[in-house]
Amino acid sequence: MIKMFHILNQCSIYGTNKEFKYDFIRKKEAVMNTWIGRMRDVLPTGAAVGCDWFAQSARNAVIKSTDGREIIDFVGGIGVLNVGHCHPKVTAAVAAQLEKFTHTAFQVVPYQNYVELGEKLGKLVPIEGKVKCQFFCSGAEAVENAVKIARAYTRRNGVIAFGGAFHGRTLMTLALTGKVSPYQADFGAMPSGVFHALFPSETQHISVEDAVKSIKRIFKSDIAPHDVAAIILEPVQGEGGFNVCPPEFMRAVREICDEHGIVMIADEVQSGYGRTGKLFAMEHYDVKPDLITMAKSLAGGMVLSGVAGKADIMNAARPGGLGGTYAGNPLGIAAALAVLDIIEEEKLLERSQYLGDKLKQFLRDLNAPEITQIRGLGSMVAVEFGDDDCPNSEFAAKVKAIAMENNLLLLTCGAHANAIRFLYPLTIEEELFNRALTILKNAFEKARQS
Ligand code: PLP
């Protein structure tokens, strides 16, 4: 299959030799007749796909491929499946909702389960005082709306985000994202008013003091603090490498926001919903944000995102200023209510902590010389190879590829894709989890030998 990928890539390089040319055309036709070929024919280059197999069905932590493989899923659709693929309670809730109605556009005709979810989340989010919620579709849409709300509340324009952050692929969230390639490169000027400060990271040699100074430098050289609407940060950076925000830095950001009347937004799109051993990663800290964005595991595989925040801030936008045709889709809402029940009934917060601790211990026991850091909260764990000066991205790629050959799906992350992140369903069976760790151990050994 991988070979076929390559053949297609070569097909545009026709030689002058006729036989050579016809050979390429024949090979191209053969590839085009496969699903991989057909996919390549349909997709533009910018839509990169990570696997050379297709999903047929999936349950809990296993994906069955169309060619009969059973793959252990340690990616969970990039952190979307904390309750596993097709959890019976999620599918039952969605099926029941399907029988009632699939869409009304909430802003035209409201439905009660939306309100119920808002009430429940209002009590669960780590935000002080009266909380209001609004639901959208994607993580990026939640972040866009959080920024709009902060701007409407403060009547200011600027936003400070962090290096290594990932907030989405729409233009504003791209501007907030702190990684140029492949996200921003080639897409022209980004929306103005966004500034990046440093995010603390041991392996990037950025201390809490450096990071605080970098915010203050922005206030001196780029934008006055009274023009800044929001500071947005991920309590644990996702795409950036599962960098955990140190508590003292979180406190410092809160203090800066309080001092200058800036809205503090915690982007919990990836860190939320039990991944870190708490429902929201901000519960690990002794300060609270003003707004929280959520998506991914919120609806167990259905499309839903949300913003929760202090009522006075959430109320800043005028009627009709926030919304969207599909925002808060009833199927996603039904799934999200089921997800909250599952997390409680199956004690997934405890399980997240247990599995994360077990994984960290396993990684420490590997004693692999390539490992520079094992980090994370709960089950939001990553292992890094090399550091910012000398990233060992090659080793991460090899481990990932060898694991895949042995039916374990992994994902890299970090500034140089030199870390592997683990996003298995928290509902994964113990036996399957152990089997995955054995595959991982072998992948480390083989990667070292290759
Ligand atoms: N924010 C964070 C922290 C994320 O990890 C992501 C996606 O990975 C997003 C925002 C964007 O979410 P989406 O891809 O649903 O737009």
Give per-residue pLDDT as tens, 178-195: 999 899 999 999 999 999
Atom of ligand 1 nearest to the CA of 138: 15
3-class secondary-structure state, position 203? coil
Distance between Cα 176 and ligand 1 center (Å): 11
3-class secondary-structure state, position 124? helix
Instruction: Write out pLDDT tens, residues 328-384.
Output: 999 999 999 999 999 999 999 999 999 999 999 999 999 999 999 999 999 999 999
Region of poorest pLDDT, from 1-10, 232-241, 273-282, 290-299 = 1-10
Q: What is the pLDDT of residue 17?
A: 59
Q: What is the pLDDT of residue 30?
A: 67
Residues ≥6 apart with Cβ < 8 Å to 201: 164, 241, 243, 388
Phi, psi of 293 (to 5 degrees): -100, 145
Instruction: Write out pLDDT tens, residues 278-335.
Output: 999 999 999 999 999 999 999 999 999 999 999 999 999 999 999 999 999 999 999 9
Ligand 1 atom 7: residue of nearest CA = 168
CA distance 271 to 378: 10
Summarize the confidence of residues 72-99 as an average pLDDT. 98
Distance between Cα 267 and ligand 1 center (Å): 9
Query: pLDDT at residue 57 above 70?
Result: yes
Atom of ligand 1 nearest to the CA of 296: 15
Q: What is the pLDDT of residue 13?
A: 35
Summarize the confidence of residues 61-90 as an average pLDDT. 98
CA distance 430 to 277: 17
CA atoms within 13 A on the CB side of 82: 40
Q: What is the pLDDT of residue 33?
A: 76
CA distance 295 to 180: 23
Choice between 3 and 131, residue whose per-residue pLDDT is larger: 131
CA distance 159 to 200: 18
3-class secondary-structure state, position 157? coil
Ligand 1 atom 13: residue of nearest CA = 139
Distance between Cα 441 and ligand 1 center (Å): 30
Summarize the confidence of residues 99-116 as an average pLDDT. 98
Summarize the confidence of residues 19-23 as an average pLDDT. 67
DSSP line for 39-83: HHHHS-TTS--S-SS-EEEEEBTEEEETTS-EEEESSHHHHT-TT
Region of poorest pLDDT, from 13-17, 101-105, 211-215, 230-234 = 13-17
Q: Ligand 1 pocket: which of 265, 269, 298, 307 to mutate (most atoms <8 Å of CB)?
A: 269
Q: What is the pLDDT of residue 18?
A: 63
Query: Structure tokens of 311?
Result: 């009522």
Find the residues whose C-beta lies inside 6 A of ligand 1.
Answer: 78, 138-140, 143, 166-168, 234, 238-239, 267, 269-270, 295
Q: Assess contact for 107 and 317: CB atoms under 8 A.
A: no
3-class secondary-structure state, position 399? helix
Q: Ligand 1 pocket: which of 296, 297, 304, 412 to mutate (most atoms <8 Å of CB)?
A: 296
Instruction: Write out pLDDT tens, residues 394-428.
Output: 999 999 999 999 999 999 999 899 999 999 999 99
Query: pLDDT at residue 9 above 60?
Result: no
Whether residue 182 is preceded by a cis peptide bond, meaning omega within 30 degrees of 0, is: yes
The CA–CA distances, whole Å, from 135 to 44, 104, 325, 330, 424 equal 31, 14, 11, 10, 25
Q: Grade residue 26 by pLDDT with cuts at 50, 70 and 90.
A: low
Q: What is the pLDDT of residue 450?
A: 87
Residue percentage of the chain with pLDDT more than 70: 93
Query: pLDDT at residue 20 above 90?
Result: no
Q: Please state, rounded to an integer, the average pLDDT across all residues of the chain.
A: 94
Which among 249, 166, 158 is positioned nearest to 201, based on CA atoms?
Answer: 249
Query: pLDDT at residue 443 above 60?
Result: yes
Residues ≥6 apart with Cβ < 8 Å to 441: 362, 366
Distance between Cα 79 and ligand 1 center (Å): 10
Distance between Cα 139 and ligand 1 center (Å): 5
CA distance 273 to 381: 15
Query: pLDDT at residue 6 above 80?
Result: no
Distance between Cα 237 and ligand 1 center (Å): 11
Atom of ligand 1 nearest to the CA of 305: 15
Distance between Cα 304 and ligand 1 center (Å): 12
Residues ≥6 apart with Cβ < 8 Å to 354: none
Distance between Cα 131 and ligand 1 center (Å): 23
Ligand 1 atom 12: residue of nearest CA = 139
Only one residue has tokens 């080639």, namely 186
Q: What is the pLDDT of residue 38?
A: 92
Atom of ligand 1 nearest to the CA of 239: 5
CA distance 118 to 306: 9
Query: Structure tokens of 130?
Result: 């009266």
Compute how many other C-beta atoms are within 10 angstroms of the C-beta atom of residue 367.
7
Distance between Cα 189 and ligand 1 center (Å): 21
CA distance 120 to 291: 16
Name the helix (H) or strand (E) containing 380.
strand 380-385
